[in-house]
Each structure stands twice: as structure tokens, then as C-alpha cells.
Chain A
Amino acid sequence: DTEVTQTPKHLVMGMTNKKSLKCEQHMGHRAMYWYKQKAKKPPELMFVYSYEKLSINESVPSRFSPECPNSSLLNLHLHALQPEDSALYLCASSQVDSGGELFFGEGSRLTVL
């Protein structure tokens, strides 16, 4: 199994809603990532978890709250988002010492109204 599975594929939410994005992998990877990608732009790193501990937070606003409940799962909790947060949210995983071979999920396309 070389897949990273993300749900939901599409999400529309209002600025007062609370929602969560979910990511799952069964490759035994102990590093997991959240990236944000706007149209025609490169992915921008948001968070990195290594061995289920948050190792990198790229100064992401607190309305985005990551969680890594176990080595296979990664969540991104969303609350009080702004319309400019509308984007494709990509989850990725890798071996901790792989260098940079990331395996990406297909993403969750988020629209904030």
C-alpha cells in the first residue's frame, strides 16, 4: 500500500464552522506533513510531525490546529477560517530520514464562504 488517503476530497464551510481534514497512510512512515497549495502556486509547508510529535510549525495561524493521534493518522482541525484560506490542502508522509521523498495524498479542496 503506497497510498496516502485524504478525506474529504471537497469541503465547503462558512467562517463560523468547525471542520476537520483527515489523512491516513499505512506505509509505516513516521513523518507526516500538511501543505497548503493555492492555484498555480507551489505547495507551502504548514506543519511537520515526526514520530507523532509536532516538529515544524511554519507560523501558521491558530485557526488551523493539527493533530497526530497515531503513526498512521493526521488531522487538521479548522475553525473560524477566512475566505483567503480557500485552497487545496495536501497531506504527505515520508520516512523520517528519507531525504525528501514525500508521498502526497490527492488533497482536500477547501472553500471558505
Chain B
Amino acid sequence: GQNIDQPTEMTATEGAIVQINCTYQTSGFNGLFWYQQHAGEAPTFLSYNVLDGLEEKGRFSSFLSRSKGYSYLLLKELQMKDSASYLCASKAGGGNKLTFGTGTQLKVEL
């Protein structure tokens, strides 16, 4: 089975750095993904980690520790447009099944 936990809400200040954590318990783990979803819109892909370590992509970075069942998404130089829900998702096995966490609603304030 799969179990994914992430905080429900976070608030941060424009220009700051925020880290959104995700813990997972996934049988046959085969990758950890982060998606961004603005209210009323479709989710969009942000990052993918299958090996331990940090993946950096512009202002966004994602980290994975498979032994700890832990990932985080790091957002730097926060902008107001980063206010959105951030969904952690894990993949099990070799198929195309992604299971999403409940999402972390990030609010960026002035």
C-alpha cells in the first residue's frame, strides 16, 4: 500500500525560502514527484527524484532520502505567483500508477 503525509498549510514571505516536507510509505517505491496546482487549474509537473539526493531546477529544488522515506521541495526567492497547492506523489512498481498526497497549500504574503 501507499501512505503519503505532508503539511496541510504553510505561509511564507515574498522573497524568502520555504521547504515543504513529504514522508511516504510506498511498497515497491519507484520515484517521488512534486506537482504544483493553482486553484481551479490542473496540476503541473515540477520535479522527479528516484535516487537519493538533490535535484535543482531554477528556483525549485527537490530532495529525496529513500532510506528515510522522506522528500522535500525547496522554493527559493518566493513570488506571489507561487501561492498554490504543492502535491507530493509516489510511484510504485514499474507501472504508471502515481498516488498523490493531500497537498500543501502554500500562501505567499508580502
Q: Are B31 and A55 touching (Cβ within 8 A)? A: no
Our pick among B42, B48, B103 for the contact of A99 (Cβ within 8 Å) is B48
The B interface is mostly helix, strand or loop, or mixed, namely strand
Number of A-B contacts (CB under 8 A): 57
Is A8 interfacial (CB 8 A cutoff)? no
Q: Are B44 and A99 touching (Cβ within 8 A)? A: no
CA distance A48 to B44 in the complex (A): 18
- Interface magnitude class on chain A: 20 to 34
Q: Write the nearest CB–CB distance from B90 to chain A, whole angstroms.
A: 9
- List of A residues within 8 angstroms of B108 by Cβ: none
**CB-defined A-B contacts under 8 Å, sample of 26:** A31-B96, A41-B102, A42-B100, A42-B102, A43-B87, A45-B97, A48-B96, A55-B96, A56-B97, A94-B96, A96-B96, A99-B33, A99-B50, A99-B91, A100-B45, A100-B48, A100-B91, A100-B96, A101-B33, A101-B48, A102-B43, A102-B45, A103-B45, A104-B42, A104-B44, A105-B42
- Chain A residues within CB distance 8 Å of chain B: 31, 33, 41-45, 48, 50, 55-56, 90, 94, 96, 99-107
